Amino acid sequence: MKNMEKLKTPKAVLFDMDGVLIDSFDACASYLNEMIAKYGEKPLPIDYLRKQFGIPGDKVVVENYPHLKGVAKKMYQEYMDLRGKHPEKNKYIEGGKELFEFLRRKGIKVGVATQTYHDAAAAMLEYFGMMPDALLGGNEVQNRKPHAEPVEKLMRMLKVQKEEIIWIGDTPTDMKTGKLAEVFSVGVLTGEHKRKELEENGAAMVLRRASELIKLIGQKE
């Protein structure tokens, strides 16, 4: 496997949430288009939204409807409120709970840095039984992904250094974030993006799903 020799047993594993731990695309697309329709505009095509997955919804709204810039933040908060109220609309990605349990047995810290706002993310992670040691929402940073700040701030919360972590994401945005933060970045194919996209944007390794990390860390011991 590519870059297997560079993979070290970490002190912490940091995860993106959507597309890595939780399959939320259908719910996200539905709620975002619901907000767009509420403000009098034609909903965006699902195939287009699939390609944009990983980019904050308010940015997608402004890019397509510049005249809604003044209300985009309000729309996005309403969208997040819906997501938090209905965690059951999302789907569990197989192996996530087992991975969290494995990491904790090994004494490895678990963190989540997501574009989703904190309260909505917490509701979904709690619903699926995957609460991390530290959770950082998109409303808790000044600079959202692909800026390095989310990963760097989460590292400070967990008291680990960049050479001591593995960062796992499913989007080119996640991989760009990891590259800027100078951390070992692993892409997964449980989201909406292909292996080539992840590798081109900085993935040191690409797995089918995050839970494959159990076997890889086991091989290092």
- With a cut of 90, say whether residue 7 has pLDDT above it: no
39 backbone dihedrals φ, ψ, rounded to 5°: -95, 20
pLDDT digits (tens, 9 = 90+) for 28-67: 999 999 999 999 999 999 999 998 988 888 999 999 999 9
Look up residue 140 and give its two tokens.
């808790």
Predicted pLDDT of residue 6: 64
Q: Is the pTM of this model over 0.85?
A: yes
Q: Which residues of 63-91 are buried (b: 16+ CB within 10 A; e: fewer)?
A: eebeebeebbeebbebbbebbbebbeebe
Q: Is the CB of residue 80 less than 8 Å from the CB of residue 116?
A: yes
Of 164, 157, 171, 173, which Cα lies nearest the Cα of 112? 157
Mean pLDDT of 12-16: 98
Look up residue 135 and give its two tokens.
């959770």
Q: Is the CB of residue 94 less than 8 Å from the CB of residue 100?
A: no
Q: In whole angstroms, give the CA distance from residue 98 to residue 190.
A: 16
Look up residue 212 and give its two tokens.
């494959």
User: CB neighbours (10 Å) of residue 122?
Assistant: 18
The pLDDT confidence band at residue 220, using thresholds 50, 70 and 90, is: low
- With a cut of 90, say whether residue 1 has pLDDT above it: no
